[in-house]
Structures are given as structure tokens and as C-alpha cells.
Structure 1
Amino acid sequence: MRRKNSKVKLLIGAAIIIFSIIQYFSNSEINEYTGKKQHISISVNDEIAIGLQSTPTMIQQHGGLHPDENYQKFIDNVGKKLVNNSIAKKTDYHYDFHLLKDPNTINAFALPGGQIFITYALFSKLENEDQLAGVLGHEIGHVIGRHSAERMAKQGLTQGLINGVAVGIDPNTAQGAAAIANIINMSYGREDELESDVLGVKFMINAGYNPNELIGVMKILKEATGPNKTPERLSTHPDPENRIEKIKEAIKKYRK
């Protein structure tokens, strides 16, 4: 009887895994703006809705919006200039730029659908408008690259595989699989960062900004991580030095 139950569990687990794989690979499309083949299970409208719904939470988590209207207008103007001079203008996304009050967390990020954020901690360290353009251009790259939507699909696949292993084989084995899957998904995140750096370079050049200033941003980020930085293989972001090399290659490729 126990052997029969084990066989049933194995079959159910296998079915969960097969269904997850089929579901993931059946949602395949070419990103018309980057030319990259992606597995995405939500629509552009879904991305926009998710971004808008999540924005208040993101603002609250970082202490609210910064009160200086001149800073916000400056960021809006740079963001709009980047959008209006790039392929971003051809997309259906709604781009909004938010300066967060957070004085401690050096960060910038994008939600699906065009909601883009930069903390005051990072903004205050930028030396010029070109560096700000580099930060915002990078985040616009995440939106156009549909990286959040792609990550959701990958996480759905990962969770399906882990559930299948847990049901069919052993929960402890599933925990080990989850740890391995987490590292794999981190590597996907690093690829997204590098692609966004390249797109950011293109957007800066198209809008008349100096793309070399994006290298200056990488130096700021490197300094912010300090000596006790997380090894690249365990981080969602590539090492700033590796990013600088990719940025230099992109500048040579796209600057005429």
C-alpha cells in the first residue's frame, strides 16, 4: 500500500512539473523593441496595472516622496527627454518618475509598466544631469526589456518545479532544489542588469547625453557597496567593474 501511494505521489509530482514546463514555454514571444525571445505570461496592460497598484507601497516603504518640487521637476524633465528620444516613446507604457525621500538607501528601480523610482540617497550623490540620465535610462531599459514580467514567469516555473519535487519525491529535496533555483534566477537578474545598461547607453546617446557618465554612476554604486560586498554569484546585480566593461563596449558600438 505504501509503495502504491509513493507511485501515485510520484505521478502527481511529475504531472505538476510537466504542466509547469509546458505552461512556461508555451508563453513565448519576441520583444519587438529589443529583439529578445522571452517567456512572459502577462500582457502589457497587466504590467501597467501591477506597476500602478504597487507604486503607493513602494513610496511608503521609502519614507514617502521627496518634498522638493524643483528636484522632482528636474527628474521629470530628464526622464521625459530620454523617453521622447528613444524607442520608449513607441511603447504603450506610461512612464512616471518618482524621487523617494529615503536618505539612506542608494538605489533606483522600476516597476512593471513604467513606474520608475530613485532615492534621494542616490540622487544626492550624482554629479551632473548626465549621470541622472544614465540612472533613469537604465531603469527605462528594465521596463522596455519587460524584465519584471519575465522574472514573474521564471519564478512561476521555478515554483512549479519545486512543488512537483516536494509532492513526488521529498520536501527536503525540494528545499535543496529551491536554493539552486534561487541562484539560477539571480543569474537571470544579472543578465537583465547588463541589458539595461546597454539600453541606457543607447537612450543617453539618442537624447544627447554623455554615456561615459554612466561609468561614473557605476563607481558611485561600487563605493556604496563597500569592502563587504556580496559575491557576484550570490547577488542579483553584476559586479560594477563588469558592468563598466559592458558599458564601454556599448559606447563604442552605438556612439557615432
Structure 2
Amino acid sequence: MSGVIKFIIALLMAAVSLVTYWCTTEENEFTGEEQHVDMTVEQEIALGLQAAPEMAQQYGGLHPDREAAAKVQEVGQRLVQNTRVRNSPYHFEFHLLADEQTVNAFALPGGQVFITAGLLERLESEEQLAGVLAHEIGHVVARHSAQQLAKAKLTESLSGAAAIATYDPENPSSRAGAAVAAMVGRLVNMRYGREDELESDRLAVQLTGEAGYDPRAMIAVLRILEQANRGAGGPEFLQTHPNPGNRVAQLEQVIREEYPNGLPQ
């Protein structure tokens, strides 16, 4: 295949990928924002349910302490049933993972929410647990995973186009370059972005307040995580939820904006 033909094919592939991404938009019914997503809510729910057992297994499965697991479920459902989340199409379930070493919490698309025993044992109150779970609920209703998957699909498509354009059968080393390009594309989309984290923090403030919890509890959670971060490796939560600048200050600002007349008593 001549270089010109390869370039034209790659250009067409890139153009189709970009047009498909930018034209595939939906308004998020919960946040009111226009988003680039290419899956339905039903597909999100199915994907989360399919991935949940494998994700749980990576953290040693579910914790055998039924009382603690029931508490996680109770707090999570209070956040759902006593806020506008109850009107969302997602089916929320809250799980306590057996891993007592890893400090993390995460949500899969569609409403499967997890917290490790390692993080739970560091929390000092039910309100702090509510703050963590509300943040993860925020990621679900804001459809951050669906957005990231759409970005990842676009990046991989563009990487594939670049691989076609640059591949030289006479130069085997170009294969390695294409593989590296694809790998970099996947790594770029592995974490939530700054705006996603700030949006989930804001939603956590709103949801905890609506459910009768003190929104300031999430600030205490962040300080607990920062303290844990001084140890070897740091908490996984801060790796999967990168700190968008001074997150404590951002949260304090959000609380002032959401409650200009002071927190409800």
C-alpha cells in the first residue's frame, strides 16, 4: 500500500471518529449538561453489573462482616431515597470490599458503588461515609464513566489511524511505535479529569445536605486521605481520584455557594 493511500485512509478514519464523537451528544437529565456519550443508560447499568464481580474479586471479594456491609448499604440508600437521585434511572447498590489494606472507593457505570474496608476503618463517622458514597453517586449520575469510555474510544480510533499512517512494513520498529501510541491513549483516559472531580464534589455537597448529613464531613475525609498519603504508596483513592488543586479549599467554596445563609441546623 502506497504512503499516499495509507495517509488518505488514516485521514478518513480520523475524520469519521471525530465527527462521530462530536455529534454523539445527550443532555444529562440530572445535571442538565450536554455530554459526549455513546451508550444508553441501560447499557451503562448492564456494563456495571457485568463488571462488578470481577472488580470485587480484585479487592478480595466482599467483606464477610454483614453488619458493616449493611451499614454501607443503609447509608448509601439513605442518600438515594432522600435526594433527587431516587428519580434517576440508575439502580444503586453499595458494597463493602474485603481489602483492609487498600484505601479506595469507586463506582461502576449504572450504580454499583464500592468502598474498601481499608477506607471504611479510617472514617470516623457515618457522615464521613455518606460523603464518600455521595461523591461516588455523583460520578454515576453525572455519567463520568460513560464520558471517559467515549473519550477512550475516540483516542483509540485516532491512535489506530496514526498507526496506519505511520506503519512501515520495511521498518518493523514502527510497530512498536504504534503499540506505544495506543497504550498512551488508554492511559490518558484511565482517571477522571479535574472537572469531573469538582462536579462530583459539588454533587456530594448537595446530596449529603439533602439527605440530612453535614456536607463538611467530606473535608474531613480528604484530610484523612492526605494523612494516609504520607505512608508508602498512598491511598489508591487519591490515585483514581486525582486532587484537582486544593480540593479542600474548593469544597469549602462549594459549601459557601450551596448554603449562602449557612448550613441547615
1:67 partner SS: coil
- Determine if the alignment matches structure 1 residue 78 to structure 2 residue 82: no
Aligned match for 1:196, one of 194, 200, 215? 200
Contact 2:198–2:244, Cα closer than 8 Å, also in 1: no
* Alignment correspondent of 2:49: 52
Report the alpha carbon displacement of residue 185 of structure 1 after superposing the two structures with TM. Answer: 3.7
* Alignment correspondent of 1:252: 256
Structure 2: gaps of 5 or more residues = 168-173
1:38 partner SS: strand
Report the alpha carbon displacement of residue 226 of structure 1 after superposing the two structures with TM. Answer: 2.0
Aligned match for 2:39, one of 38, 42, 45? 42
Aligned match for 1:217, one of 221, 224, 227? 221
**What CA deviation, in whole Å up to 9, does each residue of 1:153-203 have, x standing for no partner?**
000000011111110135466567557756754675332122111111110
Report the alpha carbon displacement of residue 238 of structure 1 after superposing the two structures with TM. Answer: 3.1
Contact 1:218–1:240, Cα closer than 8 Å, also in 2: no
* Greater CA drift, 107-116 or 211-220: 211-220
2:193 partner SS: helix
Q: Which residue identity does 2:207 align to in structure 1?
A: F
Q: Which residue identity does 1:90 align to in structure 2?
A: N
Greater length-normalized contact order (CA 8 Å, ≥ 6 residues apart): 1
Structure 1 pair 45–220 and aligned structure 2 pair: CA distance change class (3 A): same
* Alignment correspondent of 2:93: 96
2:151 partner SS: helix
Q: Which residue identity does 1:206 align to in structure 2?
A: E
Q: Runs in 1 of length 4+ with deviation above 6 angstroms?
A: 227-230
Q: Which residue identity does 1:215 align to in structure 2?
A: I
Give percent identity, aligned residues only.
Answer: 45
Q: Relative to total residues, which structure has the larger helix share, 1 or 2?
A: 1
Contact 1:110–1:116, Cα closer than 8 Å, also in 2: yes
Report the alpha carbon displacement of residue 237 of structure 1 after superposing the two structures with TM. Answer: 3.1
Contact 1:48–1:112, Cα closer than 8 Å, also in 2: yes
* Alignment correspondent of 1:113: 110
* Greater CA drift, 54-63 or 219-228: 219-228
* Alignment correspondent of 1:242: 246
Structure 1 pair 61–177 and aligned structure 2 pair: CA distance change class (3 A): closer
Q: Which residue identity does 1:47 align to in structure 2?
A: E
Matches within 5 A, 1:173-188: 174=178, 181=185, 185=189
1:74 partner SS: helix
Report the alpha carbon displacement of residue 67 of structure 1 after superposing the two structures with TM. Answer: 1.1
- Distance (Å, rounded) in 1 between the aligned partners of 2:232 and 2:102: 16
- Distance (Å, rounded) in 1 between the aligned partners of 2:241 and 2:136: 13
Structure 1 pair 11–201 and aligned structure 2 pair: CA distance change class (3 A): same
Matches within 5 A, 1:56-67: 56-67=53-64
* Alignment correspondent of 1:133: 130
Contact 1:131–1:214, Cα closer than 8 Å, also in 2: yes
Q: Which TM-score applies when normalising by structure 2?
A: 0.86
- Distance (Å, rounded) in 1 between the aligned partners of 2:228 and 2:26: 37
Contact 2:192–2:242, Cα closer than 8 Å, also in 1: no
Number of equivalenced pairs? 249
Q: Which TM-score applies when normalising by structure 1?
A: 0.89
2:196 partner SS: helix
Q: Which residue identity does 2:107 align to in structure 1?
A: A
Structure 1 pair 161–215 and aligned structure 2 pair: CA distance change class (3 A): same
- Distance (Å, rounded) in 1 between the aligned partners of 2:188 and 2:57: 31
* Alignment correspondent of 2:7: 10
- Distance (Å, rounded) in 1 between the aligned partners of 2:115 and 2:240: 18
Contact 2:156–2:185, Cα closer than 8 Å, also in 1: no
